[in-house]
């Protein structure tokens, strides 16, 4: 009886399905599923179409409505993140795992190692498993689009967390434009409206793009400040060190904007190696960055994100979408808080 209800519920939510599609999605052997479907056809609950798919029968309208009205929870959630070396992602993963556990859901975790091809393979594997929903912290916001569409074609909703991902059903992210804006105003006041700043950029994801856009656009409020140099990083401490070497070999700016805390810590290492003191600002709010601020190092400000809340909301979105309920608003933006030596006593860092 339970499996029959699963079959009816799935077709009610997702429309006509072939025997193979039902077997893959529900994890029921074809041999067993064939008998279940035939019984449901005989009872008028299903009909078998000429294109080889099962659809709801005429006698099932009231039962289907009742099934749709019942909240359903995902049993398995596929989770793929950019990497597990950055503390941000480990905190995010822990929050997702905890929220899923409250629902009784299993989380299948995969580490993409900053490789978009690997991450697309993860999405394909989640479809084959199958999972009930996917949460994705994308390595590349655009290049995952095809794999996302394949998951959706299999009836699996995809939630983008931390960074946007093309074609995702819902997006939970920091208001990264706002993060760049608050840091630009802080730098503008720090430099008294005049000077040259440098930017350590990052990989092609929406979070990085939006932070840089917010920073540069808001610097226009300070016409005496120019962007002297912009170099690329890879979001890691090592990448920050390399970017700082490239930058400082050509110019020593009056301030440096970095796109995340690990990058900022790498920049600090290179500044220290050259006996330079240049104020650095960043985005994240991680414990390591906060300790640097407390010690009076050149990292003077970080716009704090909340990876725990991002993860919690991602599970809520995945649950709603799996149950056939719209998640509104489709894109959820969480504001950042500016952490400086003055505000750090009231801030509880993560990581």
Same domain for 268 and 182? yes
180 assigned to some structural domain: yes
277 assigned to some structural domain: yes
**Phi, psi for 264 (deg, rounded to 5):** -60, -40
Helix 2-14 and helix 61-69, axial crossing angle in degrees, nearest 10: 90
Beta strands in 175-313 (DSSP E): 194-200, 224-231, 255-258, 280-284, 299-304
Same domain for 232 and 220? yes
Same domain for 180 and 298? yes
Do the strands 170-174 and 17-18 form a parallel or antiparallel pair, or are they unpaired?
unpaired
Q: Give the Cα separation of 215 and 57 in Å (integer).
A: 57
Contact predicate 209/241, CB 8 Å: no
Same domain for 257 and 244? yes
Do the strands 331-334 and 170-174 form a parallel or antiparallel pair, or are they unpaired?
parallel
Out of 37, 69, 101, a domain closes at 69
Tokens of 220: 């226009």
At 327, which CATH number? 3.40.50.2300
Contact predicate 143/121, CB 8 Å: no
- Whole-number Cα distances in Å, 178 to 31, 91, 92: 55, 22, 21
Q: Give the Cα separation of 91 and 132 in Å (integer).
A: 23
- Whole-number Cα distances in Å, 201 to 35, 150, 192: 58, 31, 24
Q: Give the Cα separation of 3 and 32 in Å (integer).
A: 10
* Per-residue confidence (pLDDT) for residue 71, from 0 to 100: 53
Same domain for 214 and 316? no
* Per-residue confidence (pLDDT) for residue 4, from 0 to 100: 87
* Per-residue confidence (pLDDT) for residue 222, from 0 to 100: 98
Q: Give the Cα separation of 154 and 24 in Å (integer).
A: 9
Q: How many residues make up the chain in this entry?
A: 351
Tokens of 123: 């999405």
* Per-residue confidence (pLDDT) for residue 65, from 0 to 100: 57
7 assigned to some structural domain: yes
276 assigned to some structural domain: yes
51 assigned to some structural domain: yes
Same domain for 203 and 321? no
Same domain for 120 and 65? no
Continuous segment of H or E residues that includes residue 32: helix 30-42
Q: Give the Cα separation of 97 and 79 in Å (integer).
A: 9
At 6, which CATH number? 1.10.10.10
- Residue identified by tokens 């309920």 is 325
Which domain covers residue 120, as residue numbers?
76-173+308-334
**Close Cβ partners of 289 (under 8 Å, ≥ 6 residues apart):** 261, 264, 265, 282, 299, 302, 339, 349
* Per-residue confidence (pLDDT) for residue 63, from 0 to 100: 54
Out of 41, 69, 97, a domain closes at 69
62 assigned to some structural domain: yes
Same domain for 143 and 191? no
Same domain for 201 and 296? yes
351 assigned to some structural domain: no
Same domain for 191 and 270? yes
Same domain for 120 and 35? no
One pLDDT digit (tens) per residue for the chain, 351 residues: 678 888 888 888 788 999 999 998 888 898 889 999 999 888 888 898 888 999 988 776 555 555 555 457 899 999 999 999 999 999 999 999 999 999 999 999 999 999 999 999 999 999 999 999 999 999 999 999 999 999 999 999 999 999 999 999 999 999 999 999 999 999 999 999 999 999 999 999 999 999 999 999 999 999 999 999 999 999 999 999 999 999 999 999 999 999 999 999 999 999 999 999 999 999 999 999 999 999 999 999 999 999 999 999 999 999 999 999 989 999 999 999 999 999 999 999 999
Out of 20, 51, 69, a domain closes at 69
284 assigned to some structural domain: yes
Do the strands 337-339 and 299-304 form a parallel or antiparallel pair, or are they unpaired?
antiparallel
Continuous segment of H or E residues that includes residue 331: strand 331-334
Same domain for 293 and 231? yes
Domain count, the chain: 3
* Per-residue confidence (pLDDT) for residue 94, from 0 to 100: 98
Helix, strand, or coil here: 124?
Answer: helix
* Per-residue confidence (pLDDT) for residue 72, from 0 to 100: 79
């Amino acid at each position: 009886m339970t499996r029959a209800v699963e079959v009816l519920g799935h077709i009610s939510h997702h429309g006509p399905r072939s025997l193979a599609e039902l077997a893959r999605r529900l994890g029921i052997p074809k041999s067993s599923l064939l008998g279940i479907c035939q019984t449901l056809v005989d009872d008028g609950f299903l009909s078998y179409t000429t294109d080889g798919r099962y659809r709801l029968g005429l006698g099932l309208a009231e039962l289907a409505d009742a099934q749709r009205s019942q909240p359903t929870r995902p049993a398995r959630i596929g989770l793929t993140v950019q990497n597990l070396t950055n503390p941000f992602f480990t905190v995010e993963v822990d929050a997702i795992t905890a929220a899923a556990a409250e629902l009784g859901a299993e989380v299948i975790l995969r580490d993409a190692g900053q490789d978009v091809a690997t991450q697309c393979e993860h999405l394909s594997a989640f479809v084959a498993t199958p999972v009930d929903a996917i949460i994705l912290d994308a390595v590349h916001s655009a290049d995952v689009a095809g794999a996302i569409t394949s998951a959706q074609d299999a009836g699996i909703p995809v939630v983008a967390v931390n960074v946007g991902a093309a074609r995702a059903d819902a997006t939970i992210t920091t208001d990264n434009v706002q993060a760049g804006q608050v840091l630009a105003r802080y730098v503008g006041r720090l430099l008294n409206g005049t000077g040259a700043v440098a930017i350590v950029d990052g990989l092609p994801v929406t979070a990085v793009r939006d932070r840089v856009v917010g920073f540069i656009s808001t610097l226009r409020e300070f016409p005496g400040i120019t962007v002297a140099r912009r170099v690329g990083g890879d979001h890691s401490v090592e990448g920050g060190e390399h970017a700082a070497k490239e930058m400082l070999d050509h110019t020593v700016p009056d301030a440096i904007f970095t796109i995340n805390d690990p990058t900022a810590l790498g920049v600090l290492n290179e500044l220290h190696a050259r006996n330079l003191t240049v104020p650095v600002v960043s985005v994240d709010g991680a414990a390591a960055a906060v300790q640097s601020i407390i010690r009076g190092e050149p990292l003077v400000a970080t716009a704090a994100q909340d990876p725990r809340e991002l993860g919690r909301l991602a599970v809520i979105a995945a649950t709603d979408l799996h149950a056939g309920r719209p998640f509104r608003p489709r894109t959820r933006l969480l504001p950042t808080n500016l952490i400086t030596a003055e505000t750090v006593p009231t801030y509880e860092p993560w990581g």
